[in-house]
A and B are shown apart, each in its own frame.
Chain A
């Protein structure tokens, strides 16, 4: 599969991971075998890293909380950021971890069952890491959009049933 087709393929499964291989093949004008081969290759190379489902957890257990935590750090040695990142990413409470430009270094998304649980995790686990100089925690109030999907407003087909 050439690069431009591979990009189209990735755009498709990024929008909906539940497309069947046969459907992907037809839509892209490729054989099913080629699709299977591409998926295997991209998984192998960790271009495709998973097939997770976008869930609005607020609708399931609404006491759960997420927070964005800014960390200012003083890394040690040449690969200091990598080592720190590995350590922080190891906690199951951490959903995302980004190294940032700007006034702080890491942005960490943390989830927990209550504000207290998250706050205790930040204080007890993140703030106590030697290289971490300071933390700032922002709790999420409402998620409006995630992975390109609106979570609060849903599009309905506003078109008339039939038009010429």
Chain B
């Protein structure tokens, strides 16, 4: 049979990370700073609740939208954290990681040809999810000199009569950029003027530093009714493998998202949902301790980059640094490939997160200080070598 694969899917480029991963894993003794997940184990009391659920035979489907007690816990947590109230029965549902919610949001809000403006560099799945839902992805290429924040001018310039929604994610993967309340407030008049929906991926909301408190765009006046907030347990509670995410939003949209979820997924994993209840109710201290550790590593790396003379704006969220490697006259991919081959250090080339990541590399600090020290030694040696070759 000809054309076995749809044109839409065939046209999607595979993630740039995959290729690099295949290369890196063939190299013995490789040190990686390429991981986008916490290095901490899921806190033991949370794992115990998962084990208990298994022991008690809680191995059946739950309600499509998730356990009542989990949705209630999410609504309480969301109110406590971002100051927005959602009805757990109609405005909250549990997904298989934040990723499912991104896909679900796009499927629910887009008709063919609708444009979604999204900020780049960004997590690898935004563009494909928009495209798979027959939307038109319109990237806004954020700039290092703006600390990778979205400015109102950039937003205004990207909007056309076909723009249906704005997709943002702060604290950001891969840059570590944060949008403060003041930064977000400047976007509101434009969003309202063009009557846009907002999809806000806030998966790193617990990880902000320098005393910054995460602000959700949904908490700004007038925004709750037009915003889908996506969050999850992976980054905050070190629960990536449990595949637990959720979305909150206005009831009319969430109702349709649950419908898609019902047909595509049925329900999120039951055992994971019980563990997630424990995380929401008793995980605050774990989150605080992990945040403190990330912050210490962040400061350590910033200082090391400074000593190395590698320019990097100070990221205030997530667990990534996004240093600028343009001085070496190589593409991100060339730099990362050479670094891997000569020093056996794996980092992710910035362009894996969109064109505007070109000239940067993503460095994850979800590693112990001991590992970071060794990685920095290797990066330092590499930078030194490139500079001496240039002279």
Contact = CB atoms under 8 A, between A and B. Distances in A.
A and B from one assembly? yes
Interface residues of A, number: 17
Interface string B28-44: 00101011110101000
Given A161-B25, A161-B30, A162-B17, A12 B35 contact: no
5 contacts: A26-B300, A159-B37, A161-B32, A162-B17, A162-B34
A83 to B, nearest CB: 40
Interface string A121-164: 00000000000000000000000000000000001010111111
A22 B36 CA distance: 28
A164 B123 contact: yes
A159 B39 contact: yes
Contacts of A28: 296, 299
A12 B296 contact: yes
Given A23-B300, A26-B299, A27-B299, A161 B34 contact: yes
Contact of B17 (A16, A26, A159, A164): A164
Interface residues of B, number: 30
A160 B123 CA distance: 17
B300 A162 contact: no
Q: Which 10 A-B pairs have the closest CB atoms?
A: A162-B34, A27-B296, A162-B21, A26-B303, A164-B124, A163-B36, A161-B32, A161-B24, A159-B35, A26-B299
Contacts of B346: 161-162
A29 B30 contact: no
A23 B35 contact: no
B263 to A, nearest CB: 26
B369 A162 contact: no
Nearest to B352: A164
Contacts of A155: 41
A27 B209 CA distance: 12
A162 B348 contact: yes
A36 B353 CA distance: 42
Interface string B281-319: 000000000001000110110110000000000000000
Contacts of A26: 299-300, 302-303
Given A29-B299, A161-B21, A164-B173, 12 more contacts: A19-B369, A157-B39, A160-B21, A160-B35, A161-B30, A162-B20, A162-B34, A162-B35, A162-B346, A162-B348, A163-B35, A164-B124
